[in-house]
Structure 1
Amino acid sequence: MAKKKTRIAAVADIHIKDSDKGKWAGHFKYISEHAEILIIAGDLTDTGDESEAVILSEELKSCKIPVVMVLGNHDYEKNREKLIRQALINENVHILDGEAIIINDIGFAGTKGFGGGFDNHMLSMFGEKAMKEFVQEAVNETLLLDRALARIESERPDIKKIAILHYAPISETVKGEAETIYPFLGSSRLSEPINRREVTAVFHGHAHKGTFKGKTTNGIRVFNVAKHILLKEGYQEPFFIFDVE
């Protein structure tokens, strides 16, 4: 008997502007006819204004499938992230911030993530207070991801897990960006719970000039689904489709 598949669509960095009214409704209608769950991995808004989130909420009314999101750095720009969440969350739209949700027997764990660099060039918690605070933010976000994944395992140890981030957990998917900004694009710390908890796949954005796909040291697939990357890869509709058995 053939195994049942759940089709996931993923995109990041849609950067909704006040002038984007009507521009995404058709895309969301299309994807709701071709997938069963939609992931948007951060930078939902362009300037972090709740008016942009209201426009996105209106556009998403044409999407008839569950939507799972995380916030990105742009969504924090004006310290209005709570208002953005309020404008978007409903029974069909879920924004994860160190939380988990199970949909169609798949566990989704999500958080924004943060920078700090990769591998042997990862920043350490040493030196000035400001540097320690920068590194601590990445540590905190990693702990949030780990706890969300643990929650899925405790509730449903039999199901597959998907991690949603905005920042990258590996350097491979930020290649193409200037190396000087790698510390601001993601952190290898994020890959530790991903490897240990045997996640099925990871979706992130943020690195607009990065690389579409890569793998963690344990071979877990990581996809940079920034809209800019998907368009560069030749996708006519700005969504990557991923099947989970």
Structure 2
Amino acid sequence: MAETKKPITIAAIGDIHVGEANAGAHREMFREIADRADVLALCGDLTNLGRPREAEVLAEDLHGIGMPVLGVLGNHDHECGHVDEVKAILSHAGVRFIEGEHCVVKGVGFAGVKGFAGGFDSRMLDSFGEPAIKAFVQEAVNEALKLESALRLLETERTVVLLHYAPIAATIEGEPAEIHPFLGSSRLAETIDRYSVTAVFHGHAHHGTYAGRTPRGTPVYNVAAAIPKDTGRPYALLEV
């Protein structure tokens, strides 16, 4: 008889934007999460400006959390050009970054990328015209290809994707229409729908909508800290 796969609970949050003056601001929340979940997923914009000291502040709050922590970075984490140092500091605090990579935790597969902009569905930006436009579109394509490479290597029955940018338009509803093309790209959803994915978490759209689905029905959750969630807390909880 096949062994029953034990469900696990994932806590997911993005866009906490830790600043240098935020020491201790998230410590109690992380302790609470450790009591309620098996895995913590961090969906980008972990720091406000990508400064090493901001990463150190977050690392101090994560210290001793005692649970697996997986993450991807966001656009804010890239702002100051210290990405490698920010990742090193947070990795030392126990965060495993899975951008373009995969891992298995408690029987569940995880894959992730930051993602990129470009718009959604029939209004997605095409690679046409000036070299700058083609480079912009290629960045979105490259992120989707990195996600595909990670998903291809997972053979788990349950698979979760972590992103920063949104893969669908439904979870950015509530944001000004003028900025929708800069909040994500359907190229991510196209990749996700080629695989059997259980759930997707993303951030970036602070005024968006909590839940939606890809064209093939995969649940997508916008876990930006400011988004109201059914937990009543800044983080989401999902059993898979």
Q: TM-score range by the shorter chain?
A: over 0.9
- Residues 134-191 of structure 1, C-alpha deviation per residue, up to 9 Å, x if partnerless? 1000000000000010111xxxx24311010000000000011111111100000001
Task: Spell out the pairing of 1:45-56 with structure 2 (5 A cutoff).
Answer: 45-56=47-58
Corresponding residue for residue 184 of structure 1 = 182
Distance 1:39 1:234 in 2: 17
Give the TM-score of the pair, scaled to structure 1: 0.94
SS in 2 for 1:182: helix
Aligned CA RMSD, in angstroms, stands at 1.4
Quick check: 1:26–1:62 contact (8 Å CA) kept in 2? no
Quick check: 1:69–1:95 contact (8 Å CA) kept in 2? yes
Quick check: 2:108–2:156 contact (8 Å CA) kept in 1? no
Q: Which runs of 5+ in 2 are unaligned?
A: none
Distance 1:89 1:145 in 2: 21
Give the structure with the higher percent helix.
Answer: 1
Match of 1:215 among 198, 213, 216: 213
Corresponding residue for residue 110 of structure 2 = 108
Corresponding residue for residue 236 of structure 2 = 240
Task: Spell out the pairing of 1:65-80 with structure 2 (5 A cutoff).
Answer: 65-80=67-82
SS in 2 for 1:206: coil
Q: Does 1:168 align with 2:170?
A: no
Between Structure 1 and Structure 2, how many residues are aligned?
238
Give the TM-score of the pair, scaled to structure 2: 0.96
Q: Which runs of 5+ in 1 are unaligned?
A: none
Q: Shift in Å at residue 239 of structure 1?
A: 1.3
Corresponding residue for residue 223 of structure 2 = 225
Q: Shift in Å at residue 48 of structure 1?
A: 1.0
Task: Spell out the pairing of 1:134-145 with structure 2 (5 A cutoff).
Answer: 134-145=136-147
Corresponding residue for residue 40 of structure 1 = 42
Distance 1:163 1:72 in 2: 15
Quick check: 1:25–1:62 contact (8 Å CA) kept in 2? no
SS in 2 for 1:196: coil
Which stretch shifts more, 27-36 or 89-98? 89-98
SS in 1 for 2:24: coil
